[in-house]
Amino acid sequence: MTRRAARPLVVVLGVLAVVLLAVVLPAGPARAHVGGGAAGSDFAARVLAVEPALPGVAVRVLSFGDELEVVNPTATDVEVPGYSGEPYLRIGPDGVWRNAHSPATYINLDRFGRTPLPAHADPGAAPEWVQVSTGPGYVWHDHRTHWMSEGVLPPAVAADPTRGHLVSAWVVPMASGGVDVQVRGELTWSPPPPAWAVWPLYALMVLAPVAAALLSRGPRPLGVLMAVGGVAALYHAATTPEPATSVSSHAGALVSALLPGLLAAAVAAGGLLAARRGRSGPTALLAVVLGWLLLVQGLPDVDVLWTANVLASGPVLLTRAAVAVLVALGAGCVLGGLVATRRTRAPQPVG
């Protein structure tokens, strides 16, 4: 294809790129992993036991212990007391009700419990129940399940940050049908991966598309690197963790999290096809578009590169590798695509 013949295709692809970025950029960074928040942490919490068991009721910790979720589709309410033993939550078949007089209602609004208490917050006052959800599930910050000191490590961790530690064994009391229930769990800390072992690989991924654009005689090497980015985008999308059951639009949350990965894979496929056909201009343009899409998908999760635990349904190592490709190779595709575009536009010597 001649340069003149390729120009209409480049214009069409450019318009498509603008449309894709306009759709993805507003939603992508906030929802690259379902629910937002941190994608990685050195802390991790888990539920060990619910005693006695509550058949049909699901209890789990989310976001490395920052939140606790209870889903109760049964006919019997699950009651959760506040920190002073006062009524706090009722979760059951008629939705979720929260006591406006419970101090926990306001303390739990903030990750570190810094919300000022209003004058009517009194654990001794009669409950004032306010419905906060019509569904049978609820998620809240329960400060017994996570580390509360911002910017300060637990003493055992500070004394020896080279190995894992049990930070706390926690208990959250509940009740169901007049029976007291204890949710038991633990909070742990693990050392992050060593930076010296992986950062040189990230640098190579940034430089690889630039080198392909500068040194290759054709667009195929750049197309192959784009395919690698597309595979990483698909894997990252496929291992996106399930959103909280209490999310109002479960399907909508999943779609918004998966969309950037699917778009990136489609652009990568187009770039590889253009490269195989020797079309340098479209390949370069699509490399820039793909780079932006990979960055949109990867940057919100970049903290998994230096934390021990990650939010994903796949192995930690593969999740970390996928995000590294999204961020490092994404930046490289933007730079490499720009370099390749300049080379394509450069006048060819007449010989």
HEC per residue, the chain: CCHHHHHHHHHHHHHHHHHHHHHHHHHHHHHCCCCCCCCEECEEEEEEEEECCCCCCEEEEEHHHCEEEEECCCCCCEEEECCCCCEEEEEECCEEEEECCCCHHHHCCCCCCCCCCCCCCCCCCCCCEEEEECCCEEEECCCCCCCCCCCCCCHHHHHCCCCCEEEEEEEEEEEECCEEEEEEEEEEECCCCCHHHCHHHHHHHHHHHHHHHHHCCCCHHHHHHHHHHHHHHHHHHHCCCCCCCCCCCHHHHHHHHHHHHHHHHHHHHHHHHHHHCCCHHHHHHHHHHHHHHHHHHHHHHHHHHHCCEECCCCCHHHHHHHHHHHHHHHHHHHHHHHHHHHHHHCCCCCC
**And the tokens for 322?**
């996928």
- The pLDDT score that the predictor gives to residue 12 is 47
Name the one residue in this structure whose structure tokens are 């810094």: 114
**And the tokens for 180?**
């007291």
- The pLDDT score that the predictor gives to residue 242 is 66
CA dist 50 → 60, 83, 88 (Å): 10, 19, 19
Mind listing the pLDDT tens digit of every residue in the chain (351 residues)?
A: 444 444 444 444 454 554 444 444 444 433 444 444 678 899 999 999 999 999 999 999 998 999 999 999 999 999 999 999 999 999 999 999 999 999 999 999 998 888 999 999 999 999 999 999 999 999 999 999 999 988 899 999 999 999 999 999 999 999 999 999 999 999 999 999 887 778 889 999 999 999 999 998 899 999 999 999 999 999 998 888 766 665 555 555 566 667 888 899 999 999 999 999 999 999 999 999 999 999 999 998 998 999 999 888 888 889 999 999 999 999 999 999 999 988 776 555 544
- The pLDDT score that the predictor gives to residue 251 is 59
**And the tokens for 145?**
């399940």
- Euclidean distance between CA atoms 88 and 114, whole angstroms: 18
Cβ-based neighbours of 179, under 8 Å, separated by 6 or more: 52
Where b means 16+ CB within 10 Å and e means fewer, 170-203 reads bebebebeeeebebebbbbbbeebeeeeeeeebe
- The pLDDT score that the predictor gives to residue 311 is 84
Beta bridge partners of 140: 68
- Euclidean distance between CA atoms 327 and 293, whole angstroms: 10
Q: Contact at 8 Å (CB) between 283 and 267?
A: no
CA-based nearest residue to 185, from 44, 60, 47, 52: 47
- The pLDDT score that the predictor gives to residue 10 is 47
The pTM of this model reads: 0.77
- Euclidean distance between CA atoms 5 and 232, whole angstroms: 33
